[in-house]
Copies of this chain bind each other. A is one copy, B any other.
Amino acid sequence: MAAMRTETRTYATGSDAVVLDLTRDCAEFVRDEGDGLLHVFAPHATVGIALIETGSGSENDLLDALERLLPADDRWRHRHGSRGHGRSHVMPALVPPYATIPVVGGRLALGTWQSVCLVDLNVDNTERQVRLSFLTSS
C-alpha cells in the first residue's frame, strides 16, 4: 500500500483580493481513488480555504464581509507590503488554510452548491500554491 498521495499545484491569484474556485482540480485529483478524505492545504500565512457556493455573488459577499470584519486600514501591528496587509495575516485564524472533504467512490462528496475555494486578500502575492493530499483507511 502506498503512503498518502500528495502533490502541490500553483495558481495565479492576481493583484486583487480574490476567491478562486479549485473544485475541478480537486475532483480530478481524487478521480482514481475509492473512499477516503481529501485534504486541501495552502502553505501560506495569508490564504484561506473556504467551501462556499460560487457564481451567485457569494465570492464578493465574502470579500465584503472580510473587509468589514478585518478592515484594510492602519490598525494592524503587522506592517509591511501594501496598506492593510496585517489583516491578511489575521484572516487564516477565521478562514483556515485547510479543508477536509469526504471522497466516496472517487468523487468529492460535496453538496450541490459547494465549491472548494482559495481566499486571498493579499494584493502583494500574485501566485499561490495549494497542496492536495488523499488519505484512506484501506
Interface, chain A (partner B; CB < 8 A) = 1-6, 34-37, 39, 41-45, 48, 50-53, 56-58, 60-62, 64-65, 69-70, 75-80, 86-87, 89-90, 92-102, 104, 109-114, 119, 131, 133-138
Contact = CB atoms under 8 A, between A and B. Distances in A.
Given A96-B99, A98-B99, A137 B3 contact: yes
Task: Count copies of this chain in the complex.
Answer: 3
17 contacts: A1-B137, A4-B102, A4-B137, A6-B109, A42-B111, A43-B114, A45-B113, A58-B78, A58-B90, A60-B77, A61-B90, A64-B75, A65-B70, A93-B119, A96-B96, A98-B101, A137-B137
Contacts of A78: 53, 56-58, 61
Given A41-B109, A78-B61, A48 B3 contact: no
B93 A48 contact: yes
Contacts of A87: 61
B76 A97 contact: no
A122 to B, nearest CB: 11
Contact of A36 (B61, B96, B101, B137): B137
